[in-house]
Amino acid sequence: MQYMVCCVPVCPMRKTDAHRAEMVSQLLFGEKCTLLESGEKGWLHVQGKYDEYTGWVQDSHVTLIEENQYNHPDKELVCDWVNEINYNGYNMMVPYGSSLSAFQNGKAFWRKNTVHFKGNKWKPGESEINAKIIKQISYKFLNTSYLWGGKSIFGIDCSGFAQMVYKFLNIPIPRDAYQQADKGTPINFLAEAKCGDLAFFDNDEGRIIHVGILLNEHEIIHSSGKVRIDKIDVEGILNLETKQRTHKLRIIKRYF
């Protein structure tokens, strides 16, 4: 098996091995993956380590690492909006939430590649999970544009937003909203919700199509057009700008 790590700020993961194919997710700098198969013209079919999501990436966006580095527990994320990494002697700006994979004392050696980082770090699991921390993390994404398949500060979808915030909380959750809705403990009433609970929304066929993070029993932060804060009640989301109902509430789940 070949072990790899993302070596660019954001690596698109596509449904098939073509630039025009749907972007189903992303790898951020430092995220690890394994090779499933090699395609033509530099395309690789990979599976991400963090959420086991699969997709096609370009070979120039990942680089080989050793098995022990792949298995090394990553306990630090970069925590500024953008962060300067020195990669093989050149500076690279990587987004909020990128992983410092196999780093020791601010350095990593990914085979022939040398990586240095001197910036601010976040250690998931070392902070108490409370409303202040959840808002501190999630508000960094405010006004980030909605991007299907995105999960970076440069563009993010609804489930990617939930997954990234929870990554900072040291709570792994699946990539897609319908998968996330299968986890956690149900909360029966909106009035019982607390900051950090996930609210899920369905369409007329009953399929989960959206997720957001509750700030309290009447406010939600979610990626819809952009990452925004809107009102929520037992019926669903009320867009504060348009005053329109946008999503129908289906279920609330708690993960901590």
CATH number, domain containing residue 233: 3.90.1720.10
Question: Quick one: average pLDDT of 148-158?
Answer: 98
Task: Tell me which of 104, 122, 140 is where a domain ends.
Answer: 122
Boundary (domain end) residue, out of 93, 122, 151:
122
What does the pLDDT look like over 81-115, one tens digit per residue? 999 999 999 999 999 999 999 998 999 999 999 99
Same domain membership, residue 153 and residue 115: no
Print the SS3 string covering the chain. Answer: CCEEEECCCEEEEECCCCCCCCEEEEEECCCEEEEEEECCCCEEEEEECCCCCEEEEEHHHEEEECHHHHHCCCCCEECCCEEEEEECCEEEEEECCCECCCCECCEEEECCEEEECCCCEECCCCCCCCHHHHHHHHHHHCCCEECCCCEECCEECHHHHHHHHHHHCCCCCCCCHHHHCCCCEEECCHHHCCCCCEEEEECCCCCEEEEEEECCCCEEEEEECEEEEEEECCCEEECCCCCCEEEEEEEEEECC
Question: Same structural domain for residues 93 and 191?
Answer: no
Residues 94 and 153 in one domain: no
* pLDDT-based confidence at residue 127 (cuts at 50, 70, 90): confident
Q: Please tell me whether residues 157 and 107 are part of one structural domain.
A: no
Same-domain status, 87 and 148: no
Alpha-carbon distance of 44 to 111, in angstroms, equals 19
Q: What percent of the chain has pLDDT over 70?
A: 100
What is the distance, to the nearest Å, from the Cα of residue 123 to the centroid of all Cα atoms in its chain?
Answer: 16
Are 117 and 208 in a shared domain? no
* Cβ–Cβ under 8 Å, residues 110 and 70: no
Q: Are residues 96 and 199 in the same domain?
A: no
- Are 60 and 175 in the same domain? no
Regarding whether 35 and 148 lie in a shared domain, the answer is: no
Please list, in sequence order, all residues whose beta carbon lies within 8 angstroms of the beta carbon of residue 136, skipping any fewer than 6 positions away: none
Q: Please indicate, yes or no, whether residues 204 and 108 belong to a single structural domain of this protein.
A: no
Residues 137 and 208 placed together within one structural domain of the fold? yes
Q: Which of 2-11, 51-60, 238-247 has the lowest mean pLDDT?
A: 238-247
pLDDT bracket for residue 74 (50, 70, 90) = confident
Task: Examine the domain organization and report whether 71 and 103 are in the same domain.
Answer: yes
| Confidence at residue 203, expressed as pLDDT on a 0 to 100 scale | 95
The CATH number of residue 44's host domain is: 2.30.30.40
Q: What is the dihedral of CA 164, 156, 2, 117, to 10 degrees?
A: -60
Query: Total domain count for the chain?
Result: 2
Residue pLDDT, tens place only, 40-72: 999 999 999 999 999 999 999 999 999 999 999
Q: Which residues, including other chains, have CB under 8 Å from residue 222's CB and lie 6 or more apart?
A: 158, 161, 210, 211, 212, 213, 228, 230, 237
Sheet bearing 113-116, strands edge to edge: 90-95, 82-87, 113-116, 107-110
pLDDT, tens digit, 9 for 90 and up, residues 169-223: 999 999 999 999 999 999 999 999 999 999 999 999 999 999 999 999 999 999 9
User: For residue 137, is it left (φ>0), alpha (ψ between -120 and 50) or beta?
Assistant: alpha
Beta-carbon-side half-sphere exposure of residue 149 (alpha carbons within 13 Å): 17
Task: Identify the domain boundary among 98, 122, 146.
Answer: 122
Name the residue range of residue 17's domain. 3-122
Please give the mean pLDDT across all residues of the chain. Answer: 97
CB within 8 Å of 71: residues ≥ 6 apart: none
Per-residue pLDDT at 150: 98
What's the pLDDT at 239? 95
